[in-house]
Structure 1
Amino acid sequence: MEIRQDTLFDRVFRDSEGNIVIAQPPNLPLIVGIVSSLLKLLFTTGQIYLVLDLVAFGALFTWAWEELFQGVNYFRRALGLIGLVGLIAWKLQ
Structure 2
Amino acid sequence: MENTLVDKTFRDSDGNVVIAQMPNLPLIVWIVTSVLALIFTPGKINTVLEVVANGSLFTWAWMELFQGVNYFRRLLGLVVLIGIIASKII
TM-score normalised according to structure 2 size: 0.96
Whether 1:18 and 2:15 are equivalent positions in the alignment is: yes
Secondary structure at 2:15's aligned position in 1?
coil
Give 1:36's aligned amino acid. T
Whether 1:59 and 2:56 are equivalent positions in the alignment is: yes
Picking from 68, 82, 90, the partner of 2:79 is 82
Picking from 67, 76, 86, the partner of 1:70 is 67
User: Aligned residues, how many?
Assistant: 90
How much does 1:82 deviate?
0.5
TM-score normalised according to structure 1 size: 0.93
How much does 1:5 deviate?
2.2
Structure 2 unaligned spans of 5+ = none
Identity %: 66
Structure 1 unaligned spans of 5+ = none
In 2: Cα distance, 1:45 partner to 1:90 partner: 21
How much does 1:45 deviate?
1.5
Q: Which residue of structure 2 lines up, in the alignment, with residue 42 of structure 1?
A: 39
| RMSD between aligned residues | 0.8
